[in-house]
Amino acid sequence: MDATTLELDAVKFAQLAVQRDQSGRYQEAVFYYKEAAQALIYAGMAGSNLENIQEKINEYLERVQALHSAVQSQNTDPLKSKQQLDLERAHFLVTQAFDEDDKGNAEEAIELYTEAVELCLKTATETSEAGLQSKLKQLARQALDRAEALKESVSKSSQKEKSTSAKPNQPVRTYFPLGPDFSLNDKPQTIRAVQASESQGQRYTAEEIEVLRKTSKINGIEYVPFMSVDLRERFAFPMPFSDKCGKLPLSPKQKAMFAKWVRPDDITNNPTMIYTVSSFSIKQTIVSDCSFVASLAISAAYERRYNKKLITSIIYPQNKKGEPEYNPCGKYMVKLHINGVPRKVIIDDQLPVDHSGELLCSYSNNKNELWVSLIEKAYMKVMGGYDFPGSNSNIDLHALTGWIPERIAMHSDNQAFNKDSTFRMLYQRFHKGDVLITTATGVMSEEEGEKWGLVPTHAYAVLDIREYKGLRFLQLKNPWSHLRWKGRYSENDTRNWTPDLQKYLNFDPRTAQKIDNGIFWISWEDLCQYYDVIYLSWNPSLFKESTCIHSTWDAKQGPVKDAYSLANNPQYKLEVQCPQGGAAVWVLLSRHITDKDDFAHNREFITMVVYKTDGKKVYYPADPPPYIDGIRINSPHYLTKIKLTSPGPHTFTLVVSQYEKQNTIHYTIRVYSLCKFTFSKIPTPYTISKRVNGQWKGPSAGGCGNFRDTYKNNPIYQFQLDKNGPLLIELRGPRQYSVGFELVTVSTVGDPGSHGFQKKSSGDYRCGFCYLEVENIFAGVYNIIPTTFLPQQEGPFFLDFNSTTPLKSKNREISDDYCNKSTEGTALAQAERKTRLGSLWLSLACGVWAKDCFILTKLKFHSAPIFPTNLC
């Protein structure tokens, strides 16, 4: 916002403050005086030329101080009677009926009008107040007249007339997070390759629909994806609405102070949704959700500064201007970005209070405002209750806004941190409105926290960033609305504040000493020293193109650790067409969470690794080396940034990775780009998959070809291919052993030409896993010899065969070339060897024998069983 707009805000708030002050509504006056002062502070920072601006700020804040005692001693206005509240509900029923009437929804409108009439007539019999009776009867008459007119219109109109005369049955505002036709019961596609900015009518695969269905149930309650039809949710009822899911569980601190649940009209006679969106009015209480309250604060500050609906747009019901409104019927809907998509959260307006009638949840300093308490309640409901285990602002801001989360660790061994470049980036992007910022302290002793005025492991909202003559500052807000920084540039610092600096920041230490609102300035150097992490949330509208894929990684797929093999990791192909001048592509991996214990402990460490392999599958973690390696973190969100400098096509392989995978995870990958791209799961070309269990034991643990005397004792597997085609062979063994294998041609059908080979190997011996992929192997008979690098390394192994054509095996004698001529060349030794190989062939057969061959089972997905713990 520019200086002129801020000045006008200050005038508006000052006028409202004076009006409330003169009418004795001191609590509201305090709220508006604070807002007027803050608007002037921002106006000064924006270059306002108003004279004596600091004096006026001080005047407002001094009046706030004077009114505090008046607020404490002021007798509150009497609460409304039940009949007055019924009249408000009847008015709301009629208002909602008008909306349905206006949209051509006659049946819905008639029902609402009728309920309003019944409520008015019932309430009129319960009161003896003539004025109230008159209002109730007048409203009933208006509603009845309109209902009768609608009924007559419906009965006279033919079906054809209705279809041509009725207004389109569409809501005023539309939002299609999954496409207008999306349903969890859609008939799915089998595969889907997504392109940037797909049309909203896109369909989802069976896997994606199943992911969204499974992760809709969070802490035992279903939160379905938010869709355009939800804008027609009914909010008006004759009786106060109560959430069918019951009351939210309270935290231990709340339970110790809890008296009862109340509705807003039980504690205030003038409840409203929002007076004005302000970050300064938000106050956290005893719920351990500091990061969520900090996220609310900076979202409100952004909406106020840039006049863009960010936080108020997620609350329903809304009026025709898209502004959230107070509902005397007590039902609200909040749209939160949870588990891959925006989701619908229904709540009632019952809030916990103590024995003094004070709220035991976060609230606005203007006690009549409800938006803070209601949004917090919706989020706490999804998280399992007010006994919230704590979070971080990356998670909370993403849920509130859907903006792109990023984490900057200032004291990490794994992540480089440059103070100067980071500040420049934060300063520039913050003032462009591109990013929301919070910061958090780390673990510290109580003594250190007391010394510096900091709370250990606590989140703070970043309200402003400033630079003055080489000095760099951030303005922070403690969600508690009290307890401020005590170091340099605090309100009690008498050494570092200069008149010019005070004027530039519009900060008067003497005035600040009078009111502790939890807001303070801190130098960038001190923040880097005493704080631990910075959380950023980026505006997704920075990117022209975006799309996403929802998927599942089954715990049974692959080893617990992927330190040696990525063969079973989910992998994706990203093709980007980079224009002249370069571009940026960001990839956000989000793990879905459905259980509060999972959220509290979060033992799943996830990351995204990027390879430059032209979109081909990657099998070894370090071969080739990653283009962008990932840090495994136990946050549900992980952001990878790909910077492109050269114009033209770029193709990457993206690999999802975990540290010690124990559980099945559901996740969403969302790609944001400044240029066109295509994003898809890497398909397997193989339609046939089969696993063989074997072991190296005793003489058969012969080691590699360097050990000529024992190499010949290794197990040998033989197979036959009737057609040319691709072939993938994977060997998995104990990860403490280096393993490899050879593929030897026995015979081919016809002359293979350039496709022929005598012998191929899996390459260098590797710990626990190796593979060989042949793009086009010629029809014929082949032997496979799996080995460890050293002899006498005993243990089990798996051989996985993947092809597009059935494999046939022959139970035949193995050439005497593989038998030792001197010690094992006897008839007994050869007989023993034939018996051993025959039993191995039996383990390879999965079906019935026919014509000396068997057909391997055709599978849609290559899914391996759980490995023994001693195998990679």
Whether the CB-CB separation of 820 and 793 falls below 8 Å is answered with no
Cα-based distances in Å from 275 to 29, 299, 326, 654, 793: 12, 16, 11, 47, 75
Encoded tokens for 727:
């072939």
Catalytic-residue membership of 290: yes
CB-based contact 742:760 (threshold 8 Å):
yes
- The Cα 212–Cα 150 span in angstroms is 40
Longest Cα separation, the chain: 119
The single residue of 478, 506, 517, 714 carrying the catalytic annotation is: 478
Torsion-angle region of 581 (φ positive above 0: left; ψ -120 to 50: alpha; else: beta): left
Report DSSP state, residue 24.
Answer: T
Distances (CA, A) of 416 to 69, 422, 523, 602, 606: 51, 11, 21, 24, 19
Q: How many helices (H) and strands (E) does the chain have?
A: 21, 34
Q: Which amino acid is at 502?
A: Q
* DSSP structure string for 103-164: TT-HHHHHHHHHHHHHHHHHHHTT---HHHHHHHHHHHHHHHHHHHHHHHHHHHS-HHHHHH
| H or E stretch at 60 | helix 53-73
Nearest to 441 by CA among 458, 424, 427: 458
- As a whole number of Å, the CA-based R_g of the chain is 34
Look-up of token digits 């806004």 = 401
Burial of 50 (0-12, 13-18, 19+ CB in 10 A): middle
Give the sign of the dihedral formed by CA 261, CA 266, CA 267, CA 272.
positive
| Phi, psi angles (nearest 5°) of residue 184 | -65, -10
DSSP letter at 522 equals: E
> Taking a C-beta distance cutoff of 8 angstroms, is the pair 57, 41 a contact?
yes
- Which of these is catalytic: 105, 120, 219, 290? 290
Residues 822, 828, 829, 835, Cα dihedral to 10°: 160
Report the 3 state secondary structure along 297-353. HHHHHHHHHHCCCCCHHHEECECCCCCECCCCCCEEEEEEEECCEEEEEEEECCEEE
Is 704 among the catalytic positions?
A: no
Marked catalytic residue, from 105, 337, 398, 458: 458
Tell me phi and psi for residue 490, to 5 degrees. -80, 175
Pairing status of strand 738-748 against strand 780-788: antiparallel
Containing 87, the helix (H) or strand (E) segment is helix 82-102
Task: Give catalytic status of residue 458 as yes or no.
Answer: yes
**Residues paired with residue 783 on neighbouring β-strands, in sequence order:** 718, 744
Query: Which of the residues are catalytic?
Result: 290, 458, 478
